[in-house]
Amino acid sequence: MNDSEQSGWSDTTIDDAQAQRNPEVSRDVARIKQLRQSIDNVDTAIVSLLAERFTCTAEVGALKARAGFAPEDKEREKRQSERLHQVAVSAGLDPDIEERYHEFVVTEAKKRHQRIADAGGDPGALGVSA
Amino acid sequence: MNDSEQSGWSDTTIDDAQAQRNPEVSRDVARIKQLRQSIDNVDTAIVSLLAERFTCTAEVGALKARAGFAPEDKEREKRQSERLHQVAVSAGLDPDIEERYHEFVVTEAKKRHQRIADAGGDPGALGVSA
C-alpha cells in the first residue's frame, strides 16, 4: 500500500471495493467482519443480561420503597465496586471500563428506585421491566 | 409498620436489627439479599463479556489502523443501534438503558481505536486487552 492510498483511506470506513484491490486489506476486512459478528453476539448477550439486572433492581426498588429504606446504599456500592474490580482484573478488562459500567448501572438503578418510591412502591411506574 | 417507624427508615439502608423487629420487613430484606446475589452474578457475567468485547474491538482498532480506515464508522453504529433496539424490546429492557449502554461501549471503543491509530496500529498501546 503506497502513501497516496494510505491517505485516501485514512478518513474512510471499511470499503469492499477498495479491499478487493489489495489482498492484505481484503484479509483485514474479512477479519473485521468476523470480529464485528462476535461484538454483535456479545452485545445481544449483554443487553439480555441488562434486562435481567433491571428486572431485579426494579423489585429491589419496590421492596425498599415498601419497607421505607433509602434508594441509595453507599456501603453496598462500595462492596460491589471492590468485587467488580477483581472480576475485571481476572477477566483482563481495563478497570476503567468496569468502573464506567458500574457507575452507569448504579445511576440508572437509583433513578428508577426513586421513581418507584415516588409512585408509592409501584414498580409499574417504570412502564417496563427496568 | 407505623408512621414513625416508616419515617425513621426513609433515609436508612437495609438493617438486619430493624428487620428482625418486623416479620414483613424481615421477609423483604431476605428477598433483597437474594436479588442482590442475582445482580452480582449478572454483573460478573457482563464484566466478563465486556472483556471479550474490548478484546475484539482492540483487534478491530489495530486492523483499521493498519489498513488506514477511520476509527469511526457511522453506518455501522446506526445498524448496531437499530439491531440492539430490537434486542432490548424483545428482552423487555427499557430502550433508554440499551441506548446508554451502546453509547458507553462505542465511545470507549472509539477512544481506544484512536489511541491504537496514534501508536501506529499497536494494540499494546492500550496496556490491557481493552
Per-residue pLDDT tens digits of chain A, which is 130 residues long: 344 344 344 456 666 776 677 888 889 989 999 999 999 999 999 999 999 999 999 999 999 888 888 877 889 999 999 999 999 999 999 999 999 999 999 999 988 888 888 887 776 666 543 3
Minimum distance, in Å, between the CA of residue B119 and any CA atom of chain A: 15
* pLDDT given for residue A96 in this prediction: 95
Closest CA to A96 of B51, B114, B42, B97: B51
Residue in the block written with cell 414498580: A123
Give residue A19's pLDDT.
Answer: 67
- What dihedral angle (degrees, nearest 10) is formed by the CA atoms of B52, B53, B54, B55? 40
- Complex-level ipTM: 0.81
Other beta carbons within 10 angstroms of residue B20's beta carbon come to 11
In this complex, the residue of B9, B54, B68 whose CB is nearest that of residue A9 is B68
The reported pLDDT for the residue numbered B102 is 96
Interface A–B counts its CB contacts (< 8 A) at: 223
A14 to B73: CB separation less than 8 angstroms, yes or no? yes
Which of A8-17, A73-82, B68-77, B114-123 bottoms out in mean pLDDT, i.e. has the lowest?
A8-17
Residues of A in contact with B40 (CB under 8 A): 80, 83
CB spacing of A92 vs B129 below 8 angstroms? yes
- Out of B22-26, B59-63, B106-110, which region has the weakest mean confidence (pLDDT)? B22-26
Name residues whose C-beta falls within 8 Å of residue B79's C-beta, 6 or more positions apart in sequence: none
Residue B14: pLDDT band by 50, 70, 90 thresholds? low
Contact A13, B50 (CB under 8 A): no
pLDDT of residue A117: 81
Contact B28 A104 (CB under 8 A): no
DSSP A121: S
Q: Which amino acid is at A2?
A: N
**Cell triple for A65:** 420503597
What integer pLDDT is reported at residue A69 of this predicted model? 84
